[in-house]
A and B are shown apart, each in its own frame.
Chain A
Amino acid sequence: MSDLTKLTIAGARDAMRKGETSSAEITSACLTAIEGADALGAFVHHTPDIATAQAAAADVRIKAGDAPDMCGIPLGIKDLFCTKGVPSQAASRILEGFKPEYESTITSQLFDAGAVMLGKLNMDEFAMGSSNETSVYGNAVNPWKRDGDSAELTPGGSSGGSASAVAADLCLAATGTDTGGSIRQPAAFVGITGLKPTYGRVSRWGIVAFASSLDQAGPMTKDVRDAAIMLGAMSGHDPLDSTSADLAVPDFEAALTGDIRGKTIGIPKEYRMDGMPAEIEKLWEDGTTMLKDAGANIAEITLPHTKYALPAYYVIAPAEASSNLARYDGVRFGHRAKLAQGDGITEMYEKTRAEGFGPEVQRRVMVGTYVLSAGFYDAYYNRARRVRALIKQDFDKVFADGVDAILTPATPSAAFGLGEMTDADPIQMYLNDVFTVTVNLAGLPGIAVPTGIDKQGLPLGLQLIGRPWEEGELLNVAYSLEQSAGFVAKPTKWW
């Protein structure tokens, strides 16, 4: 078979089961593709020996029959996941040299199902960013370029390496994590599918924590079917994560009938932002028409507190980050600063954290410290948590009124150039998450699906938001949208 790296998970699974190819062959093709793709900055730690051994073991299982769907599938793993004996440093200098003595629950589940790890993927430092420009490893680069323009573009963030690797066919799929849009925004920027599950659907154990009440891992894949397959392998109750839900994991792939007749799709009027580019507006209208033509009922809905989601997020996420990142103190793991004569433990903490954290992480830790400090806790943190409750109520009401899924743009623009936002103030960068962050605050599942190309030749995506725990139904609506949109474009190889 040719072009093994271009296979989907479903395609590879079926071909391996029929004996048309093997995990060893696909894995080797991916490893070759990765070797030639340094210019994308996607893979930051390569694990070819692990991959080759896992692929050989997978081939034995597949031959024996009855292997799980993910058996033999070569994946990239975001650097935020702790992988035993393999560097896992959240793209931060402060975790330089850290090799976990344990495996995250999600990677354990994937490996138990026979999946293959090709290496670790670039990301924004501690998952804080929307352009992968805060990484200690340097930028990840979008495989897409504007027509007739050689400028390098961001693959989005924070799961920028995952997005770049999947779009460039360096791996069949990748893990991502999403705290405010970090799976969906990069997926939209590179023309792939990215799913953030319901909060609690997947275990957070062994994933470096950013904002614990918002963080959720999910699949980044070449199509919706693959997202369904991979989500199934990642999901399930984990006694090691007290917020993971003890619910049965349905067969998500079986939910993909493509039949959405009679479903109600909500179009929230608050997402029609001032100054929204005409192309995004048209993309959204086209998506609405596609779902309508597929037999869905379209309903204009209102989510009145949408405007306050970003400011609430920028209190809650930094507050939780300042608490979670307190553990990086130079004592138990990672970097410790060189100390001067007479320096005590406080100087060790302060110098270590100043050297180890990049500017965006420092900024958020300090903002979080401020909003949690005595005298400001009520005014900022408690107020933000109240607003968060109102944002969730907005969604509860809409779902109670019979809406099955909500359609919105995934991002306010196509991918922008690396370095283009350097001089902008931090808030301009935060606006990237304007359509995605509400979903994290409300704990809902959301999926980005590529549905169009802008006039500069770049992919654009739409977001679907589902009811809690209804990823199957959400995936089915996404599947219908994917079929109608017929998005098949691929970036032209330049790397």
Chain B
Amino acid sequence: MSIDTETARRVAKLARIKVEDDALPALASEFSAILGFIEQLNEVDVEGVEPMTSVTPQRLKRRKDVVTDGDQQEAVLKNAPDAREGFFAVPKVVE
């Protein structure tokens, strides 16, 4: 399947990665090559095969629904590029 520059632009947008216009054609052609490689999967008869959800057949463990962690505001904010007054700070979200 061939990916056009518009699709490449849309995928970059969905992935929240800024790609300059002049880089889109090269990106589209890389996607096309990779998807072409992936398309070999269409040769496989997967009729009646369930998609794998877990490679080991074990059941996930459960635990009591209680608070096990918390009260670590300082540690949580420690690596933030911009933290103020106990919060993560970001540019304006709502107009």
Cβ contacts under 8 Å, B80 to chain A: 331-333
Query: Within 8 Å of chain B (Cβ to Cβ): is A388?
Result: yes
Contact A385 B51 (CB under 8 A): yes
Cβ contacts under 8 Å, B52 to chain A: 385-386, 388-389, 392
CA distance in complex: A373, B11 (Å): 9
CA distance in complex: A329, B82 (Å): 12
CB distance from B68 to the nearest CB of A (A): 9
Give residues of chain A (34-66) contacting chain B, Cβ–Cβ below 8 Å: none
CA distance in complex: A427, B82 (Å): 39
Interface string of A249-282 (1 = CB under 8 A from B): 0000000000000000000000000000000000
Contact A346 B55 (CB under 8 A): no
Interface string of A87-105 (1 = CB under 8 A from B): 0000000000111111000
CA distance in complex: A102, B69 (Å): 13
Known: A242-B61, A245-B56, A389-B52. A426 touches B90 (CB 8 A): no
User: Interface size (B, Cβ < 8 Å)?
Assistant: 51
Known: A242-B61, A382-B51. A98 touches B93 (CB 8 A): no
Contact B44 A390 (CB under 8 A): yes
Contact A322 B41 (CB under 8 A): no
Query: Within 8 Å of chain B (Cβ to Cβ): is A457?
Result: no
Query: Within 8 Å of chain A (Cβ to Cβ): is B84?
Result: no
Judged by DSSP, the binding face of A is helix
Cβ contacts under 8 Å, A427 to chain B: 33-34, 37
Cβ contacts under 8 Å, A388 to chain B: 51-52
Q: B43: nearest residue on chain A (CB-CB)? A: A308
CA distance in complex: A58, B25 (Å): 57
Query: Within 8 Å of chain B (Cβ to Cβ): is A148?
Result: no
Contact A426 B34 (CB under 8 A): yes
Query: Within 8 Å of chain A (Cβ to Cβ): is B67?
Result: no
Contact B90 A331 (CB under 8 A): yes
CB distance from A355 to the nearest CB of B (A): 8
Give residues of chain B (57-89) contacting chain A, Cβ–Cβ below 8 Å: 58, 60-61, 63, 72, 75-76, 78-82, 88
Known: A349-B16, A426-B30. A443 touches B55 (CB 8 A): yes
CB distance from A28 to the nearest CB of B (A): 32
Known: A101-B79, A246-B61, A392-B52. A314 touches B18 (CB 8 A): no
CB distance from B17 to the nearest CB of A (A): 5
Stretch of A219-227, A358-366, A412-420 with 4 or more beta carbons under 8 angstroms from chain B: A358-366
Contact B91 A366 (CB under 8 A): no
Choice from B35, B43, B49, B93 contacting A389 with Cβ under 8 Å: B49
Choice from A331, A334, A387 contacting B41 with Cβ under 8 Å: A387
Choice from B39, B63, B79 contacting A332 with Cβ under 8 Å: B79
User: Interface size (A, Cβ < 8 Å)?
Assistant: 73
Interface string of B10-50 (1 = CB under 8 A from A): 01101111110000000100110111011111111010011
Q: A356: nearest residue on chain B (CB-CB)? A: B17
Contact A426 B56 (CB under 8 A): no
Q: A328: nearest residue on chain B (CB-CB)? A: B16
Query: Within 8 Å of chain B (Cβ to Cβ): is A315?
Result: yes
Contact B37 A311 (CB under 8 A): yes
Contact A365 B17 (CB under 8 A): yes
Choice from A97, A336, A354, A389 contacting B17 with Cβ under 8 Å: A354
Cβ contacts under 8 Å, A102 to chain B: 75
CB-based closest 7 A-B pairs: A443-B55, A385-B51, A336-B81, A333-B79, A386-B46, A350-B18, A354-B18
13 further interface pairs, Cβ-Cβ under 8 Å (given A331-B80, A346-B16): A98-B79, A308-B40, A308-B41, A332-B76, A363-B30, A363-B34, A369-B11, A370-B11, A380-B38, A385-B52, A386-B46, A386-B51, A425-B30
Contacts from A to B (Cβ < 8 Å): 97-102, 198-200, 213, 239, 242-243, 245-246, 305, 307-308, 310-312, 314-315, 322, 329-336, 339, 343-351, 353-354, 357, 362-363, 365-367, 369-371, 373, 380, 382-390, 392, 425-427, 430, 441-443, 468
Contacts from B to A (Cβ < 8 Å): 3, 7-8, 11-12, 14-19, 27, 30-31, 33-35, 37-44, 46, 49-56, 58, 60-61, 63, 72, 75-76, 78-82, 88, 90-93
Can you report 17 A-B residue pairs in the complex whose CB atoms are below 8 A from each other? A98-B79, A99-B79, A101-B75, A243-B56, A245-B58, A308-B40, A332-B80, A333-B81, A345-B92, A353-B15, A363-B30, A366-B8, A385-B52, A389-B49, A389-B50, A442-B55, A443-B55
